[in-house]
Amino acid sequence: MTKVKEAVVALLKRADVRINGLKKRDIRVIDKRLYRRVLTGGSLALGEAYMDGWWYANHLDVFFAKVLRAKLDRSIRTWKFLRVYLAAKLFNRQRFRKAFHIGKHHYDIGNELYEKMLGKHMQYSCAYWKRAKTLVQAQKAKLDLICRKLQLKPGMTLLDIGCGWGGLLEYAAKKYKITGVGITVSKEQAKVARKRCKNLPVKIFMKDYRELNQEFDRVVSVGMIEHVGPKNYRTYMKVAHRCLKQYGLFLLHTIGGNKSVDTTEPWIDTYIFPGGVIPSAKQLMKATEKLFVLEDWHNFGPHYDKTLMAWHKNFVEAWPKLRKVKDATGNQKYDVRFFRMWTYYLLSCAGSFRARKNQVWQLVLSKGCLPSYESIR
């Protein structure tokens, strides 16, 4: 056994993971060059090697849950990680002129993919599984949970910052009879959102959040602040504040990190969410100082593990149809490498939430004008 392989074996042993073992957490190595590649390239190389077919896991989600619980992600740092870290420190990677990049890179890769993966409500955020048995039920429960926390009433105006495919606005307009406005930086999301809300008092705009300057009774933002970046958290909160009426409520739904960071994991940053950063509790609270009163903080992070596993199941079941989809030039839109990339993305994230490395938070904020607020669960 080479010293490079010995180092990797010793590292994995700390997480009780074996190479070529038979347990769910174990992995199989196809190409022996993997060991040196991972030791020199860290988590970015690990993901790229999986995409290249150099290794696979018996159960990728279980593997990552074990690895992250053992904090092995902290054991390897490379020059590539340092480069991204320094860039985040020195530059504003989420500045205004970069606002629409994530839309093109991630959300515009094809509505057929997201329709198959996300299901009926097309909610690309954590579902609420408290009493639900299916993804459809859990996503509907999440939508209603948000509406009840916002205390929506007929005739109210609702702003959705980062409205996605319009599912929340559609639900709120139909059940709670509100008038809504949604913004997104994705042309494909806007296309679907406008279609879904066509006969409802809802307007969808392609717009960056920094352009907003209109007051609403309620403001909501689900899975959006993860694209904002630490250098812009304060600006984001100021925008929400100026768009909220005096006696209004603002609900923020976000993935949460256990520590404050300026960057995300290198593989996720490269292939899935460029420029994305998961905020910490400290960062969020600092951004809200002198703007908002924190009325409620709800953590249901373990629900995201179940959501991601449901998405992965849908993705795998839809793959025979997705692999036949052609792009504008007639070429295969989603190839085998994409399948491995997307599998790695969904299952590694599921493992991350299972290990409690990441959380899911819903914050309810006000301007301090309400006499009281009753928490909803």
* pLDDT (0 to 100) of residue 193: 98
Nearest to 165 by CA among 200, 128, 120, 225: 120
How does DSSP classify residue 251?
E
Confidence of residue 79 (pLDDT cuts 50, 70, 90): very low
Q: What are phi and psi of 7, to 5 degrees?
A: -65, -40
**Cross-strand pairs, 256:** 359
- Reported as a single tens digit per residue, the pLDDT across 164-174 is 999 999 999 99
pLDDT above 70 (res 81): no
pLDDT computed for residue 75 by the predictor? 64
Residues 6+ apart with CB under 8 A from 289: none
Band (8; pLDDT cuts 50, 70, 90): confident
Mean pLDDT for 284-311 is 98
Give the C-alpha separation, 125 to 117, whole Å: 12
Residue 209 pLDDT > 80, yes or no? yes
Residue 72: pLDDT band (50, 70, 90) is confident
Indicate whether 83 pLDDT > 50: no
pLDDT for 92 equals: 58
- Using pLDDT thresholds of 50, 70 and 90, give the confidence band for residue 97: low
Percentages of the chain per state (helix, strand, coil), in multiples of 5: 50, 15, 35
Using CA atoms, how far apart are residues 186 and 106, in angstroms rounded to an integer?
9
From the candidate CATH numbers 3.30.1540.10, 3.40.50.150, 3.40.1160.10, 3.30.70.580, the one assigned to the domain spanning 98-304+354-366: 3.40.50.150
**pLDDT tens per residue across span 249-269:** 999 999 999 999 998 899 999
The overall average pLDDT reported for the chain is 92
The reply to whether 349 belongs to the active site is: yes
| Weakest mean pLDDT among 99-113, 165-179, 306-320 | 99-113
Question: Which pLDDT value is given to residue 292?
Answer: 98
Looking at residue 78, what is its pLDDT? 45
220-257: per-residue pLDDT in tens? 999 999 999 999 999 999 999 999 999 999 999 999 99
**CA–CA gap between residue 151 and residue 248 (Å, rounded):** 10
Looking at per-residue pLDDT, the higher value among 123 and 329 belongs to 123
Among 138, 119, 164, 143, CA closest to 311: 119
pTM for this structure? 0.92
Q: Among residues of the chain, what percentage have pLDDT more than 90?
A: 83
Q: Is the pLDDT of residue 147 over 60?
A: yes
Domain boundaries, the chain: 1-77, 98-304+354-366
In the predicted model, is pLDDT for residue 77 greater than 60? no
- Residue of 163, 197, 349, 369 marked active site: 349
Mean pLDDT of 164-191: 97
Residue with the bigger pLDDT between 99 and 308: it is 308
Taking the CA atoms of the chain, what radius of gyration do you get in angstroms? Answer: 21
Residue with tokens 């870290």: 85
Identify the pLDDT of residue 162.
97
Assigned token pair, 81: 């990680």
In the prediction, which pLDDT does 68 show? Answer: 94
pLDDT of residue 7: 85
Which residue from 260, 262, 276, 299 is spatially nearest to 345, judged by alpha carbons? Answer: 276
